[in-house]
Amino acid sequence: MTADPRPLCALTIAGSDSGGGAGIQADLKTFAAHGVHGLCAIAALTAQHTRGVSAVHLPPAEFLRAQIDACFADFRVAAVKIGMLANAELIDVVRTAMVRHRPPCVVLDPVLVATSGARLLDADALDAMRRLIPHASLLTPNIPEAEWLLGESIADAAAAEQAMRALLALGASAVLLKGAHLAAAAGGAAQADIVTDRFADGRVAVAFCNPRLPIEGHGSGCTLASAIAAQCVLGQPLPQACGEAIAYVAGALAHSTRPGRGAARVLAHFWRMVAAAT
């Protein structure tokens, strides 16, 4: 049998950021920076910039379904990154699509609020998001998102470890609990200077500890999840994919710029290419 000559691709199902720093735009730039062909299914249109979100427009559920099906019908989708899904109907469309197409890797970033603080998810979507979680290879919540999913506060490292177990119990194959919000809230010089991202899959547990950068980055969560998806397309197992993606995001933050008037900085997704050229 002749091998399929088509390259492996990554699909992002997320919202569009008109400011270019997060969502679909960040995901596609991240895929390209990893040498992976990127596909997209747009689950929301947002009017936003570095200072906030002023409007959100959602496509009909059938149109989101058509976008996803079109990608799977023509491309070899090796990984899917799921980002902003604003209501229960759209979440259920994506869940049904994951059951139907069964991609090898699904990275679910349960986006709740934008960097600006604007809420991007309907309050009634919680149960639908919980139904989607068992179809994820990896769940990548930050602390507020984990608190939302679990209905309890996460105030310190011990609570974060307990939250990891509870998130796995929701059905995800693995969890990467991002620790930036926890470090900021927990206080203490040592904790405030270090960000600990925790990975667990029920067999392997890894803590990724890195210096905190004094940067408010726009789109860092989107970029991290899409970088993990890209690493999975390239053949990395999940623990290594998470570690590589965290290092990539740290570099993108360190080289970030302020193209808008807001305080949030936009990540430099192609920082490695620029560094290599110089």
Question: For 103, left (φ over 0), alpha (ψ -120 to 50), or beta?
Answer: beta
Residue 255: inside a domain: yes
Residue 189 and residue 203: Cα distance in Å, rounded? 32
* Beta strand extents in 119-241 (DSSP E only): 138-139, 175-177, 194-200, 205-211, 217-218
CA distance 27 to 5: 24
Q: Which range of residues forms the domain containing residue 93?
A: 8-277
Identify whether 1 is part of a domain.
no
Helix (H, G, I), strand (E, B) or coil at 64: helix
Is the pTM higher than 0.75?
A: yes
Residue 67: enclosing H or E segment and its boundaries?
Answer: helix 61-74
In a domain, 178, yes or no: yes
- Do 242 and 105 touch, CB atoms closer than 8 A? no
Residue with tokens 């990896």: 138
| Residue segments in the chain with a per-residue pLDDT below the cut of 50 | 184-190
Total count of domains within the chain:
1
Within a domain: residue 3?
A: no
Contact 11, 41 (CB under 8 A): yes
Q: What is the pLDDT of residues 194-211, one digit of tens each?
A: 899 999 999 999 999 989
Span 53-106, pLDDT tens digits: 899 999 999 999 999 999 999 999 999 999 999 899 999 999 999 999 999 999
**Residue 2 maps to a domain:** no
DSSP character at residue 142: -
CATH number at residue 20: 3.40.1190.20
Q: Are 89 and 121 in contact (CB under 8 A)?
A: no
